[in-house]
Amino acid sequence: MDDVALITELAPVAESLVERHLSRAQEWFPHALVPWGRGQDFEPDYEWDPAESGIEDPAVRSALFVNLLTEDNLPHYFETIYNLYGRDSGWGEWSMRWCAEEGRHAIVIRDYLTVTRAVDPVALERGRMSQISQGMVPRPQTVVDGLVYVTLQELATRISHSNTGKLITDPVGTKIMKRVAADEQLHYNFYRDMTSAALEVDASTVILALERQVRDFEMPGVGIPDFATHASAIAKAEIYDFLIHHDEILQPVVIDHWKADKVEGLTAEAEAARERLMRQIDRVGRIGRRLRDRAASEPTPALT
């Protein structure tokens, strides 16, 4: 089934899932969560000092830096999903609602980091300019590839936000990241269930997309300045790493929820892709365990 036919076939599902999302989404306001009373002016000659951060662990600061710049890249994510799904019916309604909610995440995290001086504001702004100017985001080529990728990515983002919040010693920061993570969970639910519906319509196409997206998966932070160094610190702090990717995303979603290993009626091409998919998931788990063991014995990457 081609993209146009699939979008048309799944339009009623998209409309139903948008209605479900709106019934579950909670209204909240960034300004009500930010501790404005802790803020002060930035003088012209101001230079950030890690000692004033209030967050002692550089890995947590790295996670906040990466999490915010990921949210900041929203214009390019929106362009991608809008081009994939179009503006009609529930698809378009979802894309615009999703954009509005994701924009709120960037607002609240940025305001919190600026008021509390948790990270270097100059480095943060330079990172934002670099990230958005490059426009580097994953660009799935089909509707199904997009659904699969964004399902995995939204859950990964929720886990990253949640784990970051748990390591912030400031209760306000923890509350903000928990609030953002709750939205990401609802976004994940939408994409996960859209993919489930696609499986019922064209299982072979979905399995082929699953194999591609699991094999080539990248977090949307790729393109952020010094991303590799930040990602290494984030992994060492067990905020997000290969083992989490396997144990909390691939296994529970691809195998337990979508039951990719049990789908019937596949084409020969999709059967071969499923075999590769299962091997790749197993491989990610083995690599994740090995890297977790290695990280425990290595020094933390140098960060400020």
203-230 pLDDT tens trace: 999 999 999 999 999 877 777 888 889 9
Q: How far apart are CA 114 and CA 116, in angstroms?
A: 6
| Residue ranges of domains in the chain | 3-37+54-297
| pLDDT score, position 296 | 72
Lowest-confidence pick of 35-44, 69-78, 157-166, 205-214: 69-78
Spatial neighbors of 24 by CB under 8 A, at least 6 apart, are 186
| pLDDT score, position 173 | 97
- Is domain 3-37+54-297 given the CATH code 3.40.80.10 in the classification? no
Report angle CA 192, 193, 195 to the nearest 5 degrees.
70
pLDDT higher than 60, residue 302: no
Q: Give residue 178's pLDDT band: very low, low, confident or very high (50, 70, 90).
A: very high
| pLDDT score, position 300 | 58
pLDDT higher than 80, residue 283: yes
Lowest-confidence pick of 25-29, 80-84, 154-158, 170-174: 80-84
Average pLDDT, the chain: 93
Do the beta carbons of residue 94 and residue 16 sit within 8 Å?
Answer: no
Q: Give residue 299's pLDDT band: very low, low, confident or very high (50, 70, 90).
A: low
**Three-state SS annotation for 13-31:** HHHHHHHHHHHHCCCCCHH
Q: From residue 170, how far is each of 110, 128, 174, 198, 292 by CA, in Å?
A: 16, 24, 6, 42, 27
Residue 67, token pair as written in the block = 């999490």
For 238-281, how does the pLDDT look when each residue is reduced to its tens digit (9 = 90+)?
Answer: 999 999 999 999 999 999 999 999 999 999 999 999 999 999 99
Q: Give residue 42's pLDDT band: very low, low, confident or very high (50, 70, 90).
A: very high
pLDDT higher than 80, residue 73: yes
| pLDDT score, position 60 | 96
